[in-house]
Amino acid sequence: MTDLNSVANRYIDLWNERSPRRRRELLAAHWADDARYIDPLMSGDGHEGVEAISGVQARFPDFRFRLLGGADGFGDHVRFSWGLGPDGADSPIKGTDFAVVKDGRIRSITGFLDQMPQGA
């Protein structure tokens, strides 16, 4: 059985990791080699494609991701919501992501933006 909150927390940890070396380690430990990521702003295949998430860090250098509530799901499917914003303030950017997990490793993520300020 998949530990839903662990999957969501490992995912958020990856998005917040600033070190490229550590990000690659997290990908190797928790993501399938042929994992797929897609959201309205980007998509990537494999660890190299998924690591393109570092572009968000460059665009919002003072923001961090955090889970909003707990994860839920069934079988190999996990759903969780997140916020992106400065520490100690409400997140101006929010989204909900859906993961497919097999053997404890993320196989795919489909992300949706629930709230995004104009011009962000």
For residue 25, pLDDT over 60 is answered with yes
The H or E element spanning position 46 is helix 46-50
**109: domain CATH number?**
3.10.450.50
pLDDT of residue 52: 84
Residue 65 lies in a domain: yes
| Domain contains 77 | yes
Structurally, how many domains does the chain consist of?
Answer: 1
**Which tens digit of pLDDT belongs to each residue from 45-69?**
999 999 888 888 889 999 999 999 9
pTM of the model: 0.91
Domain assignment present for 120 = no
Query: Is residue 13 pLDDT above 90, yes or no?
Result: yes
2 contacts 100 by C-beta, under 8 angstroms: no
What's the rounded Cα separation, in Å, for the pair 88 and 86? 6
Answer whether residue 86 is part of any domain: yes
Q: What is the mean pLDDT of residues 97-109?
A: 96
